[in-house]
Amino acid sequence: MAIVNGHQKAGQGNKCRDTPIHANRHLRVICIGSGASGLHLMYKMKREFTNVSLDVYEKNPDVGGTWYENRYPGCACDTPAHNYVYSFEPNHSCRFAVKYDLRKYIKTQHEVVGATWVEERACWVVSIRRPDNTILNQECDWLISGAGILNAWRWPAIPGIDKYQGQLLHSAAWDQSVDVAGKHVGLIGNGSSGIQILPKMQEKADHVTTFIREATWISATPGMEYRKYTDEEREEFVLHPDKLTELRKASEKAIGEIFPVVFDGSAAQKQLEGFIKDRMIEKLNNKDLERLLIPDFAFDCRRITPGTAYLQSLTKPNVTTIYGEIKEITETGCVTADGKEYPTDVLICATGFDTSFRPRFPLIGREGRDLAREWELEPRSYLGLATSGFPNYFMYLGPNCPIANGPIIFSIELQTEYMLRFLNRWQKEDVRSFDAKKEAVDDFMHQKDVFMDRTVWTGDCLSWYKNPRDGRITAVWPGSTLHYMETLATPRYDDFSVEYNGRRFAYLGNGFSQTELNPSVDCAYYIRDRDDGSSLFRNLMSNVDTSEPMDVKSLGKQGKTLLE
């Protein structure tokens, strides 16, 4: 280094950048999936980011995710539909992608089949299978998974299922050409999809034999009762949007208010369990069915499922309920543990999904670590959206996120907001990588386990919330949805290992703020006649980008001078 007038000058390789603070470097993002998560990410990035390449790969022929794939008879929300929308989009519409011009980011029938972190370049190399079965390899700075947890459907592990000669269906891969009229239908499962399918089958089939292996609490909780809105009511919502807002707020409040029932032995839990039990007894009005269907485990140990029509269908003369395990499936039907065979023409498997949270393709992080192997015994996340050893990687609805604690779409919105803070900082502060620290993951998992000990979720029931190996709760958040919102509101950056591209303060650039280089912005915005409560740092990380390289010596030659 040279010394000039007593000042030690940096060498040529350390010249100051000719850009203002927080200049937007180019950001490459790949998102897996275009369901509710992927669509919201696109929407927010389109509105708030510049200098970005965003590619969204969708394995299906169209957007929609879970709601594209699940088209079985009776398919519906198990929460109020007016609350199964984005907080800013009160009217659910399958045209969301078109309305906000998002399809330009999406490539359908493109399935991600692998992703590897390349340390030397601090990027992900993602492998995508195109419609012609060729593989496209593409680099990105950030990889975000919106693949979801309810789209890897699975057949039940029952011997002989491959021998069945009738029509075999899965609820998540429904064959619309199948007609059950005049046929004997077998239905395996009494989870959310099975509960919705039975009433439709009962109406059309000659007979339905439904196989269940565990009782479950079935009834709408207060504020979540099913109803169909008339055309007149919907028109009223169009003419008076405030009435729809009132309805949404009332439903949201009702959903949130039942959170205390998750605490085992609480007054709220006992009160609501008694209410639901009385409703089930009233609808069944059959001692044998009551004995089979009303659980002896606590209410909410399994996912709450509204299903008044299901309970009524069980009482119909053309429905037979068989309780217990199916020992095997033959060419013509199902054989139960007592050796009795039940012939069927159509066999419907409403047996759910792979909910292990393990990726279905090789996801290789640092030091060759495969996330599927890492999570073979237990999925371990940081706040349900990141994990250690997989830098610049976020996942929507990961392990222990709020999927049963309140409105799930709002949780997706919260996760998007959180993720974009990291992407914003990466873009503006010349960050190379963010990687959740192992000790942060371990500490979060410990807190989660301590909390879960107090809840009904750890009760003696079959539930996909649990790790089947040891019963630990892997699917739900240790708190309410509002609790999750407050947790994500202020990112704990110290829980991440942060690496920079060279000098950590190089992003300070040429000493100018983007604000003072933008002629349309009030550079004295902080001068007020009173303290209005607004932050003096309001535009600290603004995404308004005025970061083109500049020659500071020419500043006085650009129209008005610095002395005017």
**Interval 510-530: pLDDT, tens:** 999 988 888 888 888 888 899
Which of 351, 331, 349, 350 shows the shortest CA–CA distance to 341? 331
Q: Which ranges constitute the DSSP H helices of 356-437?
A: 371-374, 408-428
Q: What is the pLDDT of residue 541?
A: 47
pLDDT attached to residue 495: 99
| Domain layout of the chain by residue ranges | 24-151+355-500, 161-221+258-349, 227-256
Fold match between domain 24-151+355-500 and domain 161-221+258-349:
yes
Q: Point out the residues of the chain with pLDDT beneath 70.
A: 1-13, 92-93, 221-225, 537-564
Amino acid at 535: S
| Residue 480, amino acid | S
Check residue 29 and report its DSSP letter: E
Query: CATH code for 24-151+355-500?
Result: 3.50.50.60
Classify residue 559 by burial, with Cβ atoms within 10 Å: 0-12, 13-18, 19+: exposed
161-221+258-349: CATH, from 3.30.930.10, 1.10.3480.10, 3.50.50.60, 3.40.190.10: 3.50.50.60
What distance in Å separates the CA atoms of residue 304 and residue 260, rounded to the nearest whole number?
14
Query: CA 19, CA 13: separation in Å to the nearest integer?
Result: 16
Check residue 198 and report its DSSP letter: H
In single-letter form, the type of residue at position 104 comes to: K
Residue 195 parent element (H or E): helix 192-204
Q: Which helix (H) or strand (E) holds 287?
A: helix 287-293
- The Cα 369–Cα 37 span in angstroms is 26
The 3-state DSSP composition of the chain as helix, strand, coil percent (nearest 5) reads 30, 20, 50
